[in-house]
Amino acid sequence: MNKKFLITGGAGFIGSAVIRHIINNTSHSVVNVDNLTYAGNLDSLASVENESRYEFEKVDICNSLDIEHVLSKHKPDVIMHLAAESHVDRSIDGPSKFIETNIFGTYVLLEQSKEYWLSLDDKKKNNFKFHHVSTDEVYGDLGQKDSLFTEETPYAPSSPYSASKASSDHLVRAWHRTFNLPTLITNCSNNYGPYQFPEKLIPLMILNAIKGKSLPVYGNGKQVRDWLYVDDHAKALLLVALKGEIGSTYNIGGNNQIQNIEVVKTLCSILDDLVPSKIDGISKYDQLIMNVEDRAGHDTRYAIDSSKILNELGWVPQETFQTGIKKTVSWYLENYNKTQSL
């Protein structure tokens, strides 16, 4: 049965990948709700913007009346909540926007979703789902030991960003437990791929290298992250939204634990092959790497155990880091002029 998805943050990096996947590979329809803040980019949806199954609403999730209107107008079967402030560095410099959007915005969306859900007839009510998309950063720092984050790992967020996402996760669980709102939560590892805003590590390094700018790496660069190609994540999110067990949490990881410094060196090596002409003074792109003072409260390691989503829903990532990173670098090179507006 075809469903109507209302996706908050649909003009963002992950949200737009989900929308492209749904429109291009299914017969479901999508309403994109996005306030188009600095990281929102409708160009990422140019390939689907004229499709009859796609609609866009410029709305702030903190505006209760606007959310109520959008729900009443479009009557979605599934709400997938991705709208969030997401950059750790920005959360350290100015936490207030993260508290407002990630916590209060989620509260507004939950309240309006609950009222909308209660107004539905029994059939539609029984098929409704609220899917909250979150991060593995809520679990805190694994350290360098061999353990992995599971769905039972206690929360121990380190940054204002991860604390705000942990708060929103708790709100979603509370609305399920207290009001029986049919919710799902997913926690993902570090995403990468086309259309990512270039404040994040991989696009920043690619674009800086091409321009001959320094490649700043925090501390010794040995922080470990699990890298997940965004299109793999989009497929997992749709699968959870359609087939996940109500009230459950699913961890989504790429099974690619790599140190930040190795990510940057890999990018440099690929660029050496694809863009051999460099600025004067360097023969290899890794000569641009510059270690800078470490970020306050920087977690040393994240790594996800994705066995639950594999065992229950059959999802595995299709891209290795090697295949995904080559696709990503190629996309940024092919779309270099487009990325200058990001």
Q: Please list the active-site residues.
A: 136-137, 161
- Residue located via tokens 């560095």: 89
* Of 251, 225, 239, the residue nearest 325 (C-alpha): 225
Distance CA 195, CA 254 (A): 18
Question: For strand 129-135 and strand 183-188, is the pairing parallel, antiparallel, or unpaired?
Answer: parallel
Instruction: Give just the sign of the alpha carbon dihedral 239, 244, 247, 252.
Output: negative
Rounded to 5 degrees, what are φ and ψ at 22? -65, -50
Please report the beta strands in the chain, taking only residues with DSSP state E, as ranges in sequence order.
Answer: 4-8, 29-34, 54-58, 78-81, 129-135, 183-188, 190-192, 215-218, 224-229, 249-252, 257-259, 289-292
Q: Rg of the Cα trace of the chain? A: 20
- Contact indicator for 225, 135 with CB cutoff of 8 Å: no
Distances (CA, A) of 137 to 141, 166, 301: 8, 8, 10
Residues in the chain: 342
Distance CA 298, CA 301 (A): 9
Residue 166: its H or E element: helix 160-179
CA atoms within 13 A on the CB side of 176: 20
Q: In 10 A of CB 214, how many CB atoms?
A: 12
